[in-house]
Amino acid sequence: MTFRGACPVAIHPSALVSPRAQIDADVHIGPLCIIEDDVTIGAGCTLEAGVVVKSGVVLGTNNHVFEGAVIGGPPQHVHMPAKPGRVIIGSGNVIRENVTIHRAL
């Protein structure tokens, strides 16, 4: 796991964070969150309890992700050939409870 910046990063002890994740300054990761490989979390982000961020996702700065959201899961369109897409979230967003944001095709 790579930390960037001088401000502290707060990771709840029950959160599972990949050593291959890149986390900027002043990030708060709540209980039971799962952060997979090759995820980038920008400065000032808050992830509430139970958020799952799948491999390859990029979160910009100052995003607030609420409980139970899943970001970067496989596409829901099952009739298209599977291609490894990505999810890139900009800055200053609010992602509410139990939202799912799937990878592009």
* The pLDDT value given to residue 21: 98
Q: pTM of the predicted model, to two decimals?
A: 0.90
* The pLDDT value given to residue 3: 62
Q: Tell me the per-residue pLDDT of 39-72, one tens digit each, with 9 for 90 and over.
A: 999 999 999 999 999 999 999 999 999 999 999 9
94, β-bridge pairs: 64
Q: Please count the helices (runs of H) and the strands (runs of E) in the chain.
A: 0, 15
The CATH code of the domain at 1-105 is: 2.160.10.10
Tokens of 62: 């100052």
Q: Are 39 and 21 in contact (CB under 8 A)?
A: yes
Phi, psi of 59, rounded to the nearest 5 degrees: -105, 125
Tokens of 52: 């799952």
